[in-house]
Structure 1
């Protein structure tokens, strides 16, 4: 008599664990499918796939995916901002001016990406279009700041320029991908409104 309940308990626990693992794998698989299908048309598809596939948070819906893309961009911009303020010094006056301007531009990008993330986390049906417009405007402004930073190094040569250019270019690429995901979210919401 004692073996039957123990056997049943073992059986139930085994299949519960197997079902939970299968559900988790299925959810992870659907998340990866969404990432793949979304990244394929992004500005930088391979970078999009690489950064979002390794993203540790949820990315199971277009909204979560847009938030994930903005978080990747924000994290990258914060790292570059920290690098520019702590690890780089310009040798010439021209380099120092360009660096100072760049630090300011990237700091503004960080602020704009933070505001975008806040907006995406609190989307509401009645204000969706207004919020999406804000998000698109802020991410576009962040991209402009990144371009402006690079423009400041026109006429400057050397290691500082190449280091800054490499890092800023990466930030600009992930920011461009984030803008794509936001636009995609806006379009998918528009399609759902037209075809309920």
Structure 2
């Protein structure tokens, strides 16, 4: 009897057990969310190391977008540097493809930034419209990556192809998380935010 009481006391007071239980819930959500992503292993790996919260589908969608945005920004900087200092040995056609690719990936950065901003300010009354915006912009970012590589006609430098392909994979996972969020959340469950003035310039998706 005394042994049972000691074991019960240990179970109730052990911080390790409670910490493990608390940590398992976000991990369970992450794995169940990533399991059907196109790049499931990459999804788990990149989001497991993300320092922010991962307690809800909205958390995961935001985290996936931040990962995609970070990878795309790094690739954009790489392409800009390559255009200035590493394009001399390329053919005229390859330099033109690199120039176009640099602009396209730069556009992807802006599209992903807009998508993340939309998810940061979701409102119940405009939820479906905002989700449509985010999905459209992330899809456009994916298209930019495909167009970038197509411009090289199969002759892209290995480092360019590797980086742009990496961006496409994490962006595909981000789009999957956004689509999953749209399916799992209802307007009534969304947090309320004060309306923000909408920018007059740039890409705007109709409510219709």
Q: What band does the TM-score fall into relative to the shorter chain?
A: 0.7 to 0.9
Say whether 1:164 aligns with 2:160.
yes
Deviations 1:29-49 (A, max 9, x none): 211111100110001101111
CA contact (8 A) 2:62 2:116 kept: yes
| 1:22 Cα deviation after fit | 5.0
Q: Which residue in 2 is equivalent to 1:79? A: 74
Higher helix content, 1 or 2 = 1
Q: Which runs of 5+ in 1 are unaligned?
A: 1-14
Partner of 2:185, secondary structure, is helix
Structure 1 residues 15-30: aligned runs within 5 Å: 19=15, 23-30=18-25
Task: State how many pairs are aligned.
Answer: 173
Q: Which residue in 1 is equivalent to 2:144? A: 145
Please give the alpha-carbon distance, in whole angstroms, between the structure 1 residues aligned to 2:182 and 2:160.
33
Taking structure 1 as reference, are residues 122 and 25 closer, same or farther at Cα in structure 2, changes over 3 Å only? farther
Say whether 1:136 aligns with 2:135.
yes
Structure 1 residues 41-52: aligned runs within 5 Å: 41-52=36-47
Q: What is the TM-score with the length of structure 2 in the denominator? A: 0.77
Alignment match of 1:40 (pick from 11, 16, 35): 35
Q: Which residue in 2 is equivalent to 1:174? A: 170
Q: What is the TM-score with the length of structure 1 in the denominator? A: 0.82
More divergent stretch after superposition (60-69 vs 90-99): 90-99
Taking structure 1 as reference, are residues 118 and 22 closer, same or farther at Cα in structure 2, changes over 3 Å only? farther
Please give the alpha-carbon distance, in whole angstroms, between the structure 2 residues aligned to 1:26 and 1:185.
25
CA contact (8 A) 1:27 1:60 kept: no
Deviations 1:94-139 (A, max 9, x none): 1111111011000000000000101111111111101100000000
Deviations 1:6-40 (A, max 9, x none): xxxxxxxxx5xx54x65544332211111100110
CA contact (8 A) 2:127 2:187 kept: no
